[in-house]
Amino acid sequence: MWKYPTTFDVIVVGAGHAGCEAAYASAKMGAKTLLITMNLDTIAKASCNPSIGGVGKGHIVREIDALGGIMGKMADRTGIHFKMLNASKGPSVRSPRAQIDKWQYSYEMKIFLENVENLEIKQFTAEKIILENNKIVGVSTLEGVDFLGLSVVISAGTFMKGLMHIGKNDFPGGRGGEKASNSLSDSLKTHGIELKRLKTGTPPRIHKRSIDFSKLEVQHSEDNAFFSFDDEKKKYNKKIPCYISYTTKKTKEIILKDLDQSALFSGKIQGVGPRYCPSIEDKIVRFKDKEKHQAFLEPEGIDTNEFYINGLSSSMPFSIQIETIRSMEGLENAEFLRLAYAIEYDYSPSNQILPTLETKKIENLFFAGQINGTTGYEEAAAQGLIAGINAAAKSLNKEPFILKRDESYIGVMIDDLVTKEILEPYRMFTSRAEYRLLLRQDNADIRLREYGYKLGLINLKQYEKLLLKKETILKELENISKKFHLIENKNISLKQFLSRPE
């Protein structure tokens, strides 16, 4: 192996949502950072749904932005449909969600990272970790190059021994059309890291021209449901609607008749899947009393005719997928562009990491994203941000950074990962946060932006904007604390009046 002549402070393996945040945070903190990925053209690729945010998840994206991360800015920049979920409910559970142009999101992220100071990006495939005295010192690559670094973040997504399933066919792959990474898993196991299997899946994509939109419910985009606290330039002024379809009685009959063809129900898949994102066959079996299930048709971008069918992930053979989709309202003539598939992959049970996301067994090795047993772009990005911060801090001899449960959803997630047994892919919900009344998506900057400033991820202009917001709030609190004659025979402040339950 040839040793690359530069020793990096931080090496990040994998350029998905976790890896991008980790590399950016590390470089912004002044650490000389290397980001390696199997394919430079799939940086921050949205492997499954073309969306960012959602209930609980949108809170996380706002927190990432408050700390100085980049997911929220990229989502705002490339968003083509925005919604504030739970808008009719209390402010603590309202959460932004955006449909993104998935190709533009990846492209914008690549261009952005290419211009970050202290960050080098290279196309290599990591195969082994290099250790000295039980401390990581670098990674070896398939291409015959050793990269040396003081800290390493692994954010490999579903690529570690990824095995894809379509009916009774299975084949290695990290996601549709891309190869798996097998050697990295073996290297981690050799050095004492326990690995287990999880499963996830993705729906088919169909052609826009084959959809009968007259039979579907339309959902229009909303204004002001953005993620970033900064004034992010929007790439698209045009917003595209989403649509709702439903399964039918015939859909149910097809699934139940051919259930033994599903990789999930035939016993081929051993990994546990995400309970809150079940396949269509799983829904039909678990909820037999339901006559129909909702599915969202979401555009994959501005300039493409691909539509993603949210709610219809499957591991059925192609022939049954066609029957299933064409039994749905408005999709009777559906033209397939991409198949649905399930994928099993290696992950590291998260009792092996510290709250900094550093592994307990190997010093200076950090894990972020699906390798820790989570599911979702947002959960991965948040872990990447924290892992990148702490990897840089370790290399630069700075204090570790740990968020608490009472100050962020990110803190809730990481605390859950390191203190609880994770038996299924972990997904964030507002119900997981006991302090959720305080952890609103609209106050993430007040809670966390000062941390970002101290870490060097937030600039002075952004910080001054926060100080002005705090000052404005305090002044308004003073104003409403003045006493007025608002009710009979009693002077009370507007603040007291607004606090009354009636």
CA atoms within 13 A on the CB side of 172: 9
148's CB contacts (< 8 A; 6+ apart) are: 3, 4, 7, 8, 130, 137, 138
CA–CA separation, 374 vs 386, rounded Å?
15
Contact (Cβ atoms closer than 8 angstroms) between residue 49 and residue 298: yes
CA–CA separation, 458 vs 25, rounded Å?
10
Q: What residues are paired with 336 via a beta bridge? A: 206
- Residue written as tokens 């493409």? 304
What six digits make up the tokens of 207? Answer: 């052609």
Contact (Cβ atoms closer than 8 angstroms) between residue 375 and residue 277: yes
Question: Is the full-model pTM beyond 0.75?
Answer: yes
Question: What percent of the chain is predicted at pLDDT more than 90?
Answer: 87
DSSP, res 347 = E
CA–CA separation, 33 vs 26, rounded Å?
7
* SS3 assignment, position 361: coil
Domain ranges of the chain: 205-343, 460-499
Model pLDDT for residues 252-286, shown as the tens digit of each residue: 999 999 999 998 888 888 888 888 888 999 999 99
Task: With a cut of 60, say whether residue 502 has pLDDT above it.
Answer: no
Distances, alpha carbon 455 to alpha carbons 25, 34, 35, 387, 401, in Å: 9, 19, 20, 13, 9
Instruction: Identify the band that residue 135 occupies on the pLDDT scale cut at 50, 70 and 90.
Output: very high
Please provide the average confidence, as pLDDT, over all residues in the chain: 95
Radius of gyration (C-alpha) of the chain in whole angstroms: 24
Which element (helix H / strand E) includes 254?
Answer: helix 249-257
CA–CA separation, 104 vs 111, rounded Å?
10
Model pLDDT for residues 294-313, shown as the tens digit of each residue: 999 999 999 999 999 999 99
- The predicted pLDDT at position 486 comes to 58
205-343 maps to CATH 2.40.30.260:
yes
The b-or-e profile of 447-470 (16+ CB within 10 A means b, else e) is bbbbbbbebebbeeebeebbeeee
DSSP, res 208 = G
Which element (helix H / strand E) includes 483?
Answer: strand 483-487
- The predicted pLDDT at position 266 comes to 82
Report the DSSP pairing between strands 119-123 and 33-37: parallel
What six digits make up the tokens of 151? Answer: 């800290």
Which one-letter amino acid corresponds to residue 104?
A: Q
DSSP 79-99: EEEEEEETTTS-GGG-EEEEE
